[in-house]
Amino acid sequence: MSFYVYILLCSDGSFYTGYTKDLDARTKLHQNGKGAKYTKAHKPQRLAYFELFDSRSNAIKREKEVKKLSHQQKICLVNSQNKK
């Protein structure tokens, strides 16, 4: 089973990071204000970044790493994927 770590760009310029096994469904939940308390208050604009993992434990580990990044480091991460 595959798992995703993802970053949403929110309307105030902040980022939300999470993990899921169904990226489309989870993104829709966030858009509808039901995905997380944070994205209910900070409306997500778009999916900015994602990574695919082969296990839940690897995805959780990576999510924790990404959450520790500074805002600028997350911008660089997002931009690195957009250049591919």
Burial 8-21 (b: 16+ CB within 10 A, else e): bbbeeeebbbbbbe
Q: What is the mean pLDDT of residues 30-50?
A: 94
pLDDT band at 2 (very low <50, low <70, confident <90, very high): very high
Q: In order of start, what are the domains of the chain with their CATH numbers?
A: 3-82 (3.40.1440.10)
Give the model's pLDDT for residue 81. Answer: 80
Res 31 pLDDT > 90: yes
- The token duo for 61 is 């580990």
Give the model's pLDDT for residue 83. Answer: 66
Q: What is the mean pLDDT of residues 47-71?
A: 98
pTM of the model: 0.94
